[in-house]
Amino acid sequence: MTKAKLSVNINKIATLRNSRGGNNPSVVEAAIKAQQFGADGITIHPRPDERHIRYQDVYDLKPVVHTEFNIEGYPNQTFMEMVLDVRPEQVTLVPDPPGVLTSNAGWNTVEHASFLKKVISDLKNAGIRTSIFIETDAEMIRAAKETGTDRIELYTESYAIGFPADKKAAIAPFVEAAKVAQEVGLGINAGHDLSLENLKYFAENIPSLLEVSIGHALISDAIYYGLSNTVKMYKNCLR
């Protein structure tokens, strides 16, 4: 068992910047500092309306991310041209329709199998590791394997919602999903609403977990604790 890596999603830094205009706070400086403070990677999710991360940010960040650069998004033509140009270490495919507030569903890997196979083939030919944002359904996980993806990212909103009332019940579907992923040879990432309150328990119960991507909760906690302390606190949850 290896300790899961922490990738810090800096979308919220871009949201704050865009609310005022200019370049304060800087997403580039945030990425540099997060890595200095111990982050194992930087995650961004550029959307077509550029309401937080802008396409130019992707290019500005590439030279400063020396850990792991993870770019999330829906693989339309613009997104694919961008990631094939930038070549991050990982691309996480998310089935977001335009204008959605935040990612709120995993891929139907059966219905979209041929589309995903083509996209993943193009990414892997460019030397980019791929991950598919997915829910805990065993059929979808097995079908994900057939697309050629390297990993899946388990969509953890339901876990976060259920955790306060019954953490054992909340984690149970994810434990089973992780077993299926291991059986078929898929790496396991996770993300969405993971926090200081629920991350440690999740990591303890998913020993095959490779990476978590955390943005909203981590950046919110950084307001109170500072970014350096917050990154360390999240890393401690993964020990």
- Catalytic residue numbers read 45, 72, 192
Which is nearest to 211 in space by CA: 31, 1, 6? 6
Kindly state the helix (H) or strand (E) to which residue 139 belongs, with its residue range.
helix 138-147
d(CA 153, CA 224): 28
Residue type, position 170, single letter:
A
Which is nearest to 129 in space by CA: 88, 94, 79? 88
Instruction: Provide φ and ψ at 172, rounded to 5°.
Output: -55, -50
d(CA 27, CA 31): 6
